[in-house]
Amino acid sequence: MYRSLCTQLNLFLLALSFFTRLPVTSWVEYSQQNLNKSNRYFCLVGWFIGGILAVCFVGLSQIFPTDVAVWCLLVISLLLTGVFHEDGLADMADGFGGGFSKADKLRIMKDSRLGTYGSSALMLALFAKLMLWQHLNELLVWLIPITYALSRATAAQLLTLVPYVSEQQSKSKPLAENQTSREQLINLACVLPVCLILTWQLLIALSVSILLFLLVYRVFLIKQIGGFTGDTLGGAQQISEILIYLVCVTFVHNQLAIFGGIIG
């Protein structure tokens, strides 16, 4: 039992070290197999990061007005994650926007330089978060952890929905091998607490929105490059995160209840 718990903790810390800049690498036992299995905790890592940001937002809100607190929170989020997913979104935009053939798109995505398409996508994503966070205001304390968890669980589903496109130096290559249904089920299980927090109306709206996004994004990726890469996983996380905020803002704007269950 103890050994099993230590194994799972190691997998969680490995996922945490992969997606954040938190100094946990010295506690992690790394191997190719462990890295493959660590994807089961994508969603849990989202809860953890979101929880840290929620605590930060509570403190910032006591010191600054909402717009300044939100800007500071965005900076902290970027420092915490090392701009990992945003980098994927920018690279994907450059590749799909500037490339004509599949080979061109993959080559451009591996280029470390940032182009016009990538810069535009990055600015639009960051501005979208700033605006949406300001509208959500005090609701962010709950919605940031929820959104961080859901968006990472959404990106994780692509590992089984879309074939992997082989490329050198891919961010996702170690995570794209030997994916099992167990990893996906654990990710989905980590989503279940959301059902205890949000109203059933919002749960339905989010479920439909995420399913439609996955369907459209899957078709889009297959048409563009025939599958997914690490950059497109980052793009999926960013787009689905913004989509979730949009749905929540729509509910707030129309004075519809967001929270139910344990905090309703």
Give one DSSP letter per residue of 109-143, joined into a string: HH--S--HHHHHHHHHHHHHHHHHHHHHGGGHHHH
Distance CA 223, CA 236 (A): 16
Residue 26 in any domain: the answer is: no
Whether residue 139 contacts residue 248, with contact meaning beta carbons closer than 8 Å, is answered with: yes
Q: What is the pLDDT of residue 252?
A: 97
Q: What is the pLDDT of residue 257?
A: 94
pLDDT digits (tens, 9 = 90+) for 79-116: 999 999 999 999 999 999 999 999 999 999 998 899 99
Whether residue 125 contacts residue 183, with contact meaning beta carbons closer than 8 Å, is answered with: no
Residue 24 in any domain: the answer is: no
Distance CA 26, CA 30 (A): 10
Q: What is the pLDDT of residue 264?
A: 60
Residue 144 in any domain: the answer is: yes
If you search the block for the tokens 């004075």, which residue do you land on? 255
Residue 110 in any domain: the answer is: yes
Overall domain count for the chain: 1
Q: What is the pLDDT of residue 165?
A: 87
Q: What is the pLDDT of residue 176?
A: 46
Residue 131 in any domain: the answer is: yes
Q: Which residues of the chain fall short of a pLDDT of 50?
A: 169-173, 176, 178
Distance CA 145, CA 70 (A): 15
Q: What is the pLDDT of residue 173?
A: 47
Q: What is the pLDDT of residue 167?
A: 60
Whether residue 239 contacts residue 217, with contact meaning beta carbons closer than 8 Å, is answered with: yes
Residue 17 in any domain: the answer is: no
Q: What is the pLDDT of residue 171?
A: 47
Structural domain including 210 reads: 41-155+175-263
Residue 102 in any domain: the answer is: yes
Which two three-digit tokens encode residue 209? 């929105």
Residue 54 in any domain: the answer is: yes
